[in-house]
Amino acid sequence: FPDQFAPLVGCFGCNLEESFPGTLFRFPLRSEAQAQASEISKASYDDPAKILDLLKQFEATAERFLLFLRNVGNIEVLVLDDECQGDEPRTLFQVEAKRRPVSKGEGRAFVGTPEAAGQSAFGWSAIQDFVTGSDPSRPLSKDAFYQRLATTPEALLPSVEQLVTVSFKQLGTLERRAPAPPMADEPMSHEPMAKGAQQHEQSPRIARD
């Protein structure tokens, strides 16, 4: 169904003819009419102001996401709008997490004896083995894991100590645009201009070190 991915053509070099070095997701936004008929959700996202609010909510909390994502080190949010040059999206902000072990190797992680602490072989893999078992073909059941967790002394639980430095860079802004003026055949509003001016919001600039 190439038409389903037509909006992605030109984004990040994607042409739907060659292998793309990454993963693209398309999330069709539910219109108000579709929301009314939907059995899943009545929320609609055809109002640009709602998308702007979602991006700002994500911007305010993006730094926290990387704290708990071991295989994701960078988040970059881009937008394709009238300010872009051609089909190249512009970057709004970037969040990057840099991790380094507190101790030598992968940090202080061990299973079995405290003497194993600090050995790289007992790093993240020790946590995975503790949760699922050391044999991938015979993973622990949920009950077996709970039993293991309840009977293992706290001092012998596997752990990894890391220092995580999260940086935030603001590279662009996405302002809420004022409503377009009415067409010639539409009735003009007689409300005071001051009230209309108050309805135009300007997004605050966020600066973080």
What is the rounded distance in angstroms from the CA atom of residue 55 to the CA atom of residue 48? 11
What is the rounded distance in angstroms from the CA atom of residue 79 to the CA atom of residue 93? 10
Helix (H, G, I), strand (E, B) or coil at 75: strand
pTM as predicted? 0.57
Those residues whose C-beta lies under 8 Å from the C-beta of residue 18, and which sit 6 or more positions away, are none
Question: pLDDT tens string for the chain (209 positions)?
Answer: 667 888 888 778 888 888 888 888 888 788 889 999 999 989 888 888 888 888 889 888 888 888 888 788 899 988 877 788 777 788 899 999 998 877 654 444 444 444 444 444 457 788 888 999 888 889 999 999 999 999 999 888 888 888 889 999 998 887 655 555 555 554 444 443 333 333 333 333 333 33
